[in-house]
Structure formats: C-alpha cells, structure tokens
Structure 1
Amino acid sequence: MKKLFAIAFILLVSMMNAQVTFKPGLRAGAAFSTFSNTRSDYKTDFYIGGFGEIKLTKIYTLQPEITYTKQGSNNVKTYIGYDENNGEDIIAYRDLEINYVSVAMINKFTFPGGFQVQVGPTIDFRTTDNLIYENSDVDLAFVAGFGYKVPSTGLTIEARVKKGLIDVIDSDYYGTNGNNDYWFGDYNTNIGFQLGVSYAFGK
C-alpha cells in the first residue's frame, strides 16, 4: 500500500511540475455504423464536433469532446408476414437512422514519432431517428482507436471504433419467425467506426 501511495505521489508531483497546456480544436470525418444482432449493411455517414486538448504530461492528454454523429444501419432485413397466396414469406428491407450528440472523455497517449492511442467512455444523447419505436434516448459507449499527429502541425489523422452498451431498439416490433436469414435479435446495440481528422489550434 505504501508503494502505491509513493507512486501516486510521484505521478502527482511530475504532473504539477509539467507545463499543462490547453488547445481547442475541431474534428470531422466519415462514420460507418450498424446495429448488433441484425441482418443488415453498414450505414455510411459523417461526424463533426469540437474538443479541448488538455496536455498534462509529455505523453498523456485528456481530451473532452462534443460530437454530432449520424448513425444507423442500412438494408435491415426483417420478417413482415406470410403470403398465403404464393406460400412465401414477406420480407422488408429498412434503412434505419439514429443520430446522437455525444459527450466523450478521451484519454490520448502520444508516443515519439506522433503515433497515438485513444481510449475513453462516451455518453450519447439521441437527437433524431426514423425508428418505429426506440428503447432508449441515451446510449453509453466505449471508444478505442489510433491516431497519427502530423509533425509541426495541429493536424491528427484518426481511426476509432465505438461500441454501444445499451439496447437502443425495441426489437419486438421488427418481425422474425426464427429464420436466421432475417433474424432480428432482442439486444441491439450501436456499433460504429470513425475515420477522419482533427485539428488543434494554437502553438
């Protein structure tokens, strides 16, 4: 226990002695998303937002973010019913959309050469959607990704994965008769990938 306190004290002192800096910035790019437990295709759209880069040590930066993201899933295959006339199932393909304003707390580690690791939690607030019935207006998610800071600039190239934890769709509405070809499970979470750039202002 004494060793843990000693390590914590050394880290605290080193952070206090370090020159803490703050830079605002913008980030934007392409968003690729879908819902888990569905037969569907990824939806391609965009994200855009702002952040504050709080550099605490040479390697570690705390980065609060606010981002607007368009998410959802395309060609969601669902069972509608059975056509007694021709003896075939009636299938529908729906493009589902759900958009969020996300508040994230990203922990960014920048190593020599500009290579970065980015991880952190986010809470997402639903703004609009075309779902027939949704389960939750709020999603909790975890973000992990990599980045590359271009030398002598504020530009960073980023690639992230984002995994939601909350069931966001009321799947009881979307039909299934047990056939895996158009199966729609009970637990449908957001799954997303982001590829884009960020720019921090200031020297």
Structure 2
Amino acid sequence: MKKIILIGAVALFGAMNAQTRFGLKAGANLSSISNEEDSKAKFGFYAGAFANIPIAETFSLQPEVLYNGKGVAYDGPGDARMSLDYISIPVFFQYKATPQFYLEAGPEFSFLISGKAKYDGESEDVKDYISGFDFGIGLGAGYNFTPNFGANIRYVAGVTDIVKDVEGFENDESYRNGVFQLGLTYTFGN
C-alpha cells in the first residue's frame, strides 16, 4: 500500500511539474512611504523571474524573485528622493476568471540591498536606518494576450515598519512601503 501511495505521489508531482511554466517579468514601480511629510510618489522599476504552478483548473501558485526599486520623492526644490532597492519574493495565488484574465493576491517578502538619500546634488547611504526586511500584502490582476505575452497590474501595501530604532533617532511614527506596479510578462513554452 505504501508503494502505491508513493508511486501516486510521484506521478502527481510529475504531472504538476510538467504543467509548471516559467517566465520573466519587468515593469514600472510608483512607490511611496507612509507618514513622510511633503512627499510624492517615486518612479522606479522591477524585473525578475517567476514560476506558475497549477494547483487546480482555475487556481495556480506563482512564486517570483524580483529586483524591486522602491522609495519616495520629496516636494520642494531640487531632486530630493530616497531610493530603496530590494530583492523581493512575492508568492501569489492566482484565480483564472477567464482563460486570459486572472486575479491574484498574496504576501511579498523583501530584503534590502541598498538605501540612498539624494538631495541638493549630494548622496548619503541610509541603509543603517532602514530595516533589512520588509513584508507586504499584494493584490493584482493580469491579462495574457497570447500564451506567452501578458500584462500585469499590482499594488503591494507594506505591513512592517521599515525604519529601524536607531540611537539618536526618534521613531514615533510607523513608516511603510507602498508600491503600485505595472508591467509585462513573458512565459516560456506553450
């Protein structure tokens, strides 16, 4: 009996694995940070790879690995902004509403790789003041124009405070990332 269960599990995994599709995605980010006074959205970009793993006929799981440029721009003279670069790992559940259109939701785990503040032509490393980990929840939708090409729109709301409690820096507010993404996808195979 154990051999039959093992053979069945291997066959199921093999069938599921055969239906897994891999792809690339890239697009534009419009990001902000909550509770930042005199701020406006900052333009950035994201790019990376994904695997789409079917769970049922209309549901799939899509883990991704992305470079994700977040941050905030500031009102006023000059080009003042804070750029936060992350490696993000979204794990989204997708529901196919039609063969081409899908809705998605899930968590995003992000790891800070650099943080820079730029103002009046000067640049300062702010990585020591920013938490190395950011957690967010995302909602989105997508449309596949062909089996290989599609477009995706997503919003990821940060849940964790991104500013560290550092000696000499009062942090009474909670600062969270918010990122609106619009991009294109390319899926390999048919």
Q: Which of 92, 100, 112 is 2:98 aligned to?
A: 112
Question: 2:115·2:130 contact (CA, 8 Å) conserved in 1?
Answer: no
Partner-residue secondary structure (3-state), 1:61: strand
Match of 1:130, SS state, is strand
Correspondence for 2:177? 190
- Partner of 1:167, secondary structure, is coil
Instruction: Tell me what 2:6 maps to.
Output: none
Shift of the alpha carbon at 1:164? 0.9
> Which one-letter code corresponds to 2:187 in the other structure?
A
User: Offset at 1:153?
Assistant: 2.2
| Between 131-140 and 23-32, the greater mean CA deviation after superposition | 131-140
TM-score, structure 1 length as denominator? 0.73
1:157 correspondence with 2:157: no
Query: C-alpha separation between the residues in 2 aligned to 1:200 and 1:70?
Result: 23
Deviation (angstroms), 1:170 = 4.8
RMSD (CA atoms): 2.7
Following superposition, the deviation at residue 76 of structure 1 comes to: 5.9
Over alpha carbons, which structure has the higher Rg?
A: 1
Answer yes or no: is the 8 Å Cα contact 2:155–2:179 preserved in 1. yes
Aligned-pair identity (%): 26
> CA shift at 1:35, angstroms?
0.3
* TM-superposed deviation, 1:57: 1.8
> How many residue pairs were aligned?
165
Judge conservation of contact 1:76–1:96 (CA < 8 Å) in 2.
no
C-alpha displacement of 1:41: 0.8
**Closer, same or farther in 2 for the Cα pair 1:71/1:174, shift >3 Å?**
farther
Tell me the alpha carbon deviations over residues 172-199 of structure 1, each in whole angstroms, 9 at most, x when there is no partner.
8789xxxxxxxx9711100000000111
Matches within 5 A, 1:61-76: 61-75=60-74
Counterpart in 2 of 1:7?
Answer: none
- Name the TM-score, length of structure 2 as normaliser: 0.77
Tell me the alpha carbon deviations over residues 138-172 of structure 1, each in whole angstroms, 9 at most, x when there is no partner: 0011111111111x422221100011111112588
Structure 2: state its 5+ residue gaps. 1-11, 118-125
Q: Deviations over 1:39-68 (max 9, x none)?
A: 201000100010111112221111110010
